[in-house]
Structure 1
Amino acid sequence: MLGNTEGSGALLILWTAAGLSLFSFVNVLVWRLPRDMNFFTDRSRCLFCGQTLNWRDLIPVFSWLLLKGRCRYCGEKIPLRYPLTELWGGFCSLLCAKFWGISWNAGVMLVFLALLTAVSQIDQDTMEIPDGLNGAIFLLAVLALAQDGLLAARLDGWELTKWIAKERLLGMVSVSLPMFLLILMIPGAFGGGDVKLMAGIGLFLGWRRCLVSFMAAVLAGGIYGGFLILTGRKGRKDHFAFGPFLCAGAGLAAFFGNQILQWYLSVFSCSIP
């Protein structure tokens, strides 16, 4: 059930539309931040002909469909990433509503996922994570901490306790500090942006889910790196963007971190405080 969305289809439609619009803004961030462009005041333009776009060209997903994936003015193909990112936003909004209902907590989580998506795409494109996005994640975590964390929720029968300040503060350093120390010993082991990203993720998720997110990222990143080496696309000393894996791990842990941790502990018959 969708928490407090029962019997309110119109509200759910508005909520999903908000998710589509938020992730449409993610497209703006991904394009403009690496180019030092203003993402609030500058009008949206075609990437190819520079024509200013009007509202009919900017309706998430639907404009792309109505225009058959091409610019209204020059006919160039609009990158498929744009509508896919917006659809991802719609899915994320529904997922947040499924877990927390249409609420403040769901809104906080949706913004968190939007920031992770922006970080992931920019790092994939540029091999850099903007400090502004890391700062936004950190600020969001502080705001969530100020309102005593996300409220308890039942996920597949598991009762989640409130995220308390101690757990979140430990989360801020549980992974980022070892990453920083590893950089001092092995320069280039991680990027500085990765360390800052994990500090923000840890503050938002708490140390338990932060560990789950990092382990998932290392596992997925290791498999991907091995694939690149085996196929000759990368050498053993070459680097690839690790931010997308950290973001994917954080998203996974945000929803299923407790279940994954409980499963792991049950398999190895151990416990944590």
Structure 2
Amino acid sequence: MRGNERWLLELMAGTLFLLLLVRACLEDLRRREIPDRIGVLLVAAGLCCHIAGISPPGCGPGPLEFSERLAGFFCVSIPLGTAACLAPGSFGGGDIKLCAAGGFFLGWKAMLSAGAMAVLSAGAAVAVFLLTGRISRREGIPFGPFLCLGMTAGFFLGEELARWYVGK
């Protein structure tokens, strides 16, 4: 594959990924639900990227191995799923599926960064909302927008953020 073709494929895949995240964010804000088709499209985009040998800009210089994508699928979705089982209502199924699909697209390093950023930013937002009286302790907020924010950061800066988190 020539440089121009590769660049165009990377641009198309990245644009699709970011547009799907925007859609997921808007759906979660509006309906408190993330449609399954968004996750399916993210996984399909990840498979196409794997076959074409391309990776997001924040995922290092070379293409992601299939094992890195598979690890990305599970590395944040399993902890979220476990939390949802232990504390019902903490996370919805759409959040968990979005994490899995986004992780398959991004790979495990970028997805760990994305998950950490999502949890930290959501925690900060909840603290502000509680302190200002915008929500009560019994109310929840949609987590999807914070996942989308984290995955966007992971898309552009995933490996760099992962190194910063672990202090290397």
Q: Return the TM-score normalized by structure 2.
A: 0.90
Q: Is the 8 A contact 1:168 1:206 kept in 2?
A: yes
Cα deviation code 1:85-124 (max 9, x no counterpart):
xxxxxxxxxxxxxxx9841011101100000001101111
Distance 1:188 1:167 in 2: 30
Q: CA RMSD in A?
A: 2.2
Regions of 4+ moved over 4 Å: none
Distance 1:148 1:134 in 2: 21
RCO higher in 1 or 2 (8 Å CA, sep ≥ 6)?
Answer: 2
In structure 1, list runs of 5 or more residues that go unmatched.
Answer: 5-99
Match of 1:107 among 2, 9, 12: 12
Match of 1:166 in 2: 67
Q: Which moved more, 1:193-202 or 1:175-184?
A: 175-184
Which has the larger Rg?
A: 1
Equivalences for residues 118-197 of structure 1 within 5 A: 118-150=23-55, 160-197=61-98
Give the secondary structure class of the aligned counterpart of 1:103: helix
Give the secondary structure class of the aligned counterpart of 1:129: coil
Shift in Å, 1:145: 2.1
Q: Is the 8 A contact 1:149 1:164 kept in 2?
A: no
Identity of aligned residues (%): 33
Q: Is the 8 A contact 2:39 2:98 kept in 1?
A: yes
Match of 1:243 in 2: 144
In structure 2, list runs of 5 or more residues that go unmatched.
Answer: none
Distance 1:170 1:237 in 2: 34
Distance 2:72 2:122 in 1: 21
Match of 2:21 in 1: 116
Distance 1:256 1:221 in 2: 19
Distance 1:106 1:262 in 2: 25
Distance 1:224 1:198 in 2: 20
Distance 2:80 2:164 in 1: 26
Distance 2:94 2:159 in 1: 26
